[in-house]
Amino acid sequence: MQVLRFFFGIIIHFDLICAAIMVFGCVMHFRKPTRKLHRILLFNFIAFSVIYFSPFSRTMLYHLEHRFPQIQAIPSDAKGLILLGGSFSLLESQVGGRPIYNLAGGRVIEFISLARRYPNLPILFTGTSVEVELTKKLFDEMGIESNRVTWENESTNTIGNAYNSYKLVKPKPDDKWVLVTSAFHIPRSVGLFRGAGWNVIAYPVDYHIPSLTPFKLFVGFLDSLNPIAWRLVTAEGASLFNNYITSKSPEFIPR
């Protein structure tokens, strides 16, 4: 397992590794240029360029985000709504004394809109104790009634979200719960929740690549999202693989 973590760590941070090798290689080139060094520099330059300057990373993120389709309406027999933590920059939020959002901040914002459209459905929030306190404050400000919400505050990752919430709620096998999280996070979350025994309906929100057209791919050249997309996709892919081989998820890439 340590070997896998090391391997996935290299893949996730491959752009930084390539950049470091190029800098070191350029220094060595001025001291003693060789054909082998030229090849190493060329390979790393190409790999770095693919991640930063090509549509490759954005395309992968698009397919990950659109693995599950958006649903227009929640089924009438749904038992409740589940919101996963992960929307806040915790250190900044604690210092500022109010919610400070991160890259996945859209998930809690869109969830509030969904919760207000379905005021009769109970809500389950699952995350860390700090996230619970921040979300309580936000829900109160946005008019979400506290008696609707069950709080699970012992989870520090998605595996904990799935299994700790299952122990807390004890849903029946036929109970349908709507799982709301960022679109890139939906495949991994659905796999883990299914593995824990939940019957979940995927409700992806917080898209970063809503559409994929030649024009948008072209204007995405040099976009700052490219390296972020690489890290999101490779990190999610590594987790999907790990969850599947450790039997925490019944499918490698859930659909």
Query: What is the CATH classification number for the domain harbouring 188?
Result: 3.40.50.620
Tokens, residue 232: 């999101």
Question: Mean pLDDT over residues 226-252, rounded?
Answer: 92
Model-level pTM?
0.88
Looking at the fold, whether 113 and 20 belong to one and the same domain comes out as no
CA separation, residue 112 to residues 66, 180, 186, 203 (Å):
22, 11, 18, 13
- Domain count within the chain: 2
Residues 146 and 108 in one domain: yes
Instruction: Check whether residue 92 and residue 142 sit in a common domain.
Output: yes
* pLDDT value at residue 32: 77
Whether residue 70 lies inside any domain: the answer is no
Q: What is the largest CA-CA distance in the chain?
A: 72
Same domain, yes or no: 122 and 241: no
Judgement on whether residues 92 and 193 belong to the same structural domain of the protein? yes
Structure confidence at residue 212 (pLDDT)? 78
User: What pLDDT score was predicted for residue 84?
Assistant: 97
Residues 144 and 84 in one domain: yes
Residue 174 is assigned to a structural domain of this protein: yes
Domain boundaries, position 15: 2-65+214-245
Query: For 203-237, how does the pLDDT look when each residue is reduced to its tens digit (9 = 90+)?
Result: 999 999 888 777 666 666 666 788 889 999 999 99
